[in-house]
């Protein structure tokens, strides 16, 4: 059977050969064989995978060296034809002896695998997905692959797949190599708003770690899968489309050394009145008493903190503690477990929408188990408190704000999403007085989600 994915990919490569200046192309997870396989039914689609560490091999030029490597041969020839590095995802098999520790009963391992080819078709590296997402057809490797490959045009690239982006291994450990400035990221990511749409986590990862992320997500709207992009810490090009069935090829030029956003500070920040107010609140200024009846950081403004009732609502399957954001300007604070989230905000006009500030500090247990600390300002699905946490893509409420929390992790993903699935870049991020903050003014459209999504890997 001829996989349709391969035909589409060959077409893409031939269109963007070197005259276009494309140096590397990344294809999505599950793009060749598709979905819904059992361990047995996927077997005919698996390629045998020799270790690139042990064997130097060019499948296009040496097709008969190993049996059952048809897909690898096609991919290798594509890399040659396009004269570009090529990263693709496929299913692979590796025989093992039933006596070996971990060897499955059928005598073979089956892995969800990314492969990397150089522009001359040589198989330079591979990565076997470690954090599987309900993938009965595949095995978890006994050891994590920390795959880093070198290119002549941009230095070192790290590789991981889809669900891996939420875990310490291999994603975070790879970045301990300070020379890794770029990540290639095949995915079949099912969007879940308000916090984990593909473009949100992809962009947040690039910003949080100051890297370029080349993310190829499979386009399958009926399964809620869309959202790819080329992300840098300061600017991104992305595509999110739940309407059309045809995918989209993204091309962008990015810097070899991405310039980071985290910790950005310049003199004007200190002059901005809202930032001065934020710093006063953090310093525990006597005129900014957080728990007293009124909070007034200067003579002109008084905010009644007791006006906003605390309520609970489910967001991302987690029980968030929230307060409504009702006023035209104000300062709100909401706590859960040990995490306190604060919001200092101003709005040019009030919209007929309900917004809420929410906090969650605990173990997320649905569709994966991992510990999160989250501060989020979200637009609710309706006007009732129970609609806060629902999936929303359109909004009209514009804010200028500081959002911050006393996070007990340094691994914090900043997310900023506006109406129509548009990503925005924070004006400023960083630590101030043991609190991590995100600051934004001049949103281009209504706010859907502003969040600080913290991960405590050691509590998983």
Enumerate the active-site residues.
29, 129, 162
Distance CA 457, CA 460 (A): 6
End-to-end CA distance of the chain: 42
SS3 content of the chain, % helix, strand, coil (to 5): 20, 35, 45
Question: Which of 429, 308, 449, 304 shows the shortest CA–CA distance to 375?
Answer: 449
CA distance linking residue 187 with residue 404, whole number of Å: 30
Instruction: Give the whole-angstrom CA distance, residue 351 versus residue 398.
Output: 8
Instruction: Please give the structure tokens belonging to residue 295.
Output: 């909070």
Are the C-beta atoms of residues 427 and 440 closer than 8 Å to each other? Answer: yes
Q: Which residues contact 5 (CB under 8 A, 6 or more apart)?
A: 27, 31, 32, 33, 34
**Six-digit token string for 439:** 């600051």
User: How far is the C-alpha of 268 from the C-alpha of 288, rounded, in Å?
Assistant: 23
Q: CB 15: neighbour CB atoms within 10 A?
A: 11
Place of tokens 């076997």: 128
Q: Are 130 and 169 in contact (CB under 8 A)?
A: yes
**Per-residue exposure over 318-345, b if at least 16 CB sit within 10 Å of its own CB, e if not:** bebbbbbbebeebbbbbebeebbbbbbb
Tokens in use for 347?
């709005």
> Do the Cβ atoms of 150 and 156 come closer than 8 Å?
yes
Place of tokens 């997402």: 133
Q: DSSP states of 126-154 as a string? A: EEE-SS-SS-TT-PPPSS----EEEETTT
Query: What whole-number distance in Å separates Cα of residue 105 and Cα of residue 163?
Result: 26
Joined together, the tokens standing for residue 223 give: 């399964």
- Apex CA 270: angle with CA 268 and CA 272, to 5°? 70
Lateral strand order in the sheet of 447-455: 311-315, 318-325, 355-364, 370-379, 447-455, 412-418, 422-423
């Amino acid at each position: 059977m001829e996989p349709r994915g391969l035909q589409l990919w060959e077409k893409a490569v031939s269109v963007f050969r070197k005259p276009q200046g494309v140096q590397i192309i990344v294809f999505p997870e599950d793009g060749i064989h598709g979905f819904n396989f059992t361990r047995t039914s996927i077997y005919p689609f698996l390629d045998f995978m020799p270790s690139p560490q042990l064997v130097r091999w060019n499948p296009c030029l040496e097709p008969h060296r190993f049996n059952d490597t048809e897909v690898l041969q096609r991919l290798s020839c594509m890399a040659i034809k396009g004269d570009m590095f090529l990263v693709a995802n496929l299913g692979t098999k590796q025989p093992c002896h039933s006596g070996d520790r971990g060897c499955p009963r059928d005598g073979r391992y089956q892995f969800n695998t990314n492969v990397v080819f150089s522009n001359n078709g040589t198989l330079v590296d591979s990565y076997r997905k470690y954090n599987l997402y309900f993938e009965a057809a595949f095995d978890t490797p006994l050891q994590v692959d920390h795959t880093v490959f070198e290119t002549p045009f941009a230095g070192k690239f790290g590789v991981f797949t889809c669900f891996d982006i939420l875990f310490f291994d291999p994603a975070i450990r790879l970045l301990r190599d300070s020379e890794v400035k770029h990540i290639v990221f095949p995915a079949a990511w099912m969007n879940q708003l308000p916090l984990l749409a593909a473009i949100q986590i992809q962009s947040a990862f690039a910003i949080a770690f100051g890297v370029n992320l080349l993310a190829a997500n499979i386009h399958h709207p009926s399964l809620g899968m869309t959202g790819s992009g080329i992300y840098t810490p300061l600017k991104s090009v992305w595509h999110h489309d739940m309407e059309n069935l045809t995918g989209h090829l993204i091309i962008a030029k990015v810097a070899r050394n991405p310039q980071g956003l985290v910790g950005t500070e310049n003199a004007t920040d200190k002059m901005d009145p809202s930032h001065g107010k934020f710093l006063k609140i953090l310093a525990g200024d006597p005129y900014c008493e957080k728990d007293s009846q009124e909070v007034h950081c200067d003579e002109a403004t008084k905010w009644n903190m007791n006006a906003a009732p605390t309520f609970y609502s489910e967001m991302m399957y987690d029980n968030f503690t929230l307060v409504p954001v009702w006023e035209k300007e104000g300062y709100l604070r909401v706590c859960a477990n040990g995490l306190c989230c604060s919001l200092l905000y101003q709005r040019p006009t009030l919209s007929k929408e309900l917004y809420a500030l929410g906090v969650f500090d605990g173990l997320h247990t649905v569709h994966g188990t991992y510990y999160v600390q989250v501060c989020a300002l979200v637009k609710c699905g309706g006007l009732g408190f129970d609609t806060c946490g629902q999936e929303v893509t359109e909004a009209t409420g514009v804010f200028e704000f500081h959002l911050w929390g006393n996070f007990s992790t340094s691994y914090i993903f900043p997310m900023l999403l506006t109406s129509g699935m548009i990503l925005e870049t924070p004006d400023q991020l960083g630590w101030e007085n043991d609190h991590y903050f995100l600051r934004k003014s001049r949103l281009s459209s209504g706010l859907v989600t502003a969040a600080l999504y913290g991960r405590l890997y050691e509590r998983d």
